Amino acid sequence: MAELVYQTWERITGRPWSDAAKGGFTDGSYNANIALQKKLLGGWDPYATAAQAKPKAKPKAKAAAATTPGPGPVPVDPGLAAQQWEALMALQKQIADDNARLLEEAQADARRLQEAQLSANPADFVAYELYKRSLEEQGYAPQTAARSDVEIQELFDVALELNEGISAGTGQFGVDIPSTGSISRSELQAFSPTDIGILSSFLRGGVDT
C-alpha cells in the first residue's frame, strides 16, 4: 500500500502532520500535499536543513544540578490523523453542497417572484408569457405553463371581443392587432382595465405591418 503524505511527513521529519500546515509547507490541498510528499521522498527535510544552518551555541559551564525528568513525547496515532483528515474533507464537501443548495433556492425564489410580479399586471401579459417560455427553455418549470400561440390568439380575441376590422399588423404570438380606427368609441368604453392592459401589452411588444 502506498504511503500517505502525512505518514511520509511524520516518518522523515519526526513531527506531527499538523506542523506541516503550521510551518507553511502545505495549504492542505491535494496538489500541495503531493508536491510536499515528492520533496520529502527526494531527501528534503525542512527541519534538518534549519538545524544544519543554525550554528551550535557553546555550552555554558555550570554546576550540575538535579533535575526532574519531564514528560516524554506524546505518541502520534497515524490512524487518528487520517480520520481527522477525512473528517475535514467531509466537512468541506458538506459546506460546498450547502452553499450550492442555498444559491439554487435563492435563484428559484427570484424566478417565482419575477413570475408573480409579471402575472399580476395585465400590461405585462406579453412579457409574462415570454418569461414563462424562457424558463421552460432553460429547463425550469414556471408556476403556470406557458400558453401556445393559438391559445394566446384565442384569449386575445375572446377577452377584447373585437369585431373584424382594419388590422394594424401582427403582434407577438401571431396576434392580429386592430388599428385604432377599427375600434369604435363604444367598444373602447366597454373595455375593462384588464382588457386595456392586455391590449397595451401587445402594442408595447411591437407590431409587424
Domain boundary residue among 50, 70, 87? 50
Domain boundary residue among 14, 31, 50? 50
The CA distance from 64 to 73, in Å, is: 24
171 lies in some domain:
yes
3-class secondary-structure state, position 59: coil
C-alpha cell at 61: 559551564
pLDDT given for residue 97 in this prediction: 94
Higher pLDDT, 184 or 50: 184
80 lies in some domain:
no
* pTM of the model as a whole: 0.52
Span 88-115, mean pLDDT? 94
75 lies in some domain:
no
Strand partners, 169: 177
Q: What percent of the chain has pLDDT over 70?
A: 78
The string of pLDDT tens digits covering residues 184-206 is 777 777 778 888 888 888 888 77
The CA distance from 142 to 59, in Å, is: 81
Domain range enclosing 165: 149-204
For residue 82, what pLDDT band results from cuts at 50, 70 and 90? confident
153 lies in some domain:
yes
Number of domains within the chain: 2
C-alpha cell at 75: 505518541
85 lies in some domain:
no
pLDDT at 109 over 70: yes
pLDDT given for residue 30 in this prediction: 84
The string of pLDDT tens digits covering residues 121-135 is 999 999 999 999 999
178 lies in some domain:
yes
C-alpha cell at 154: 384565442
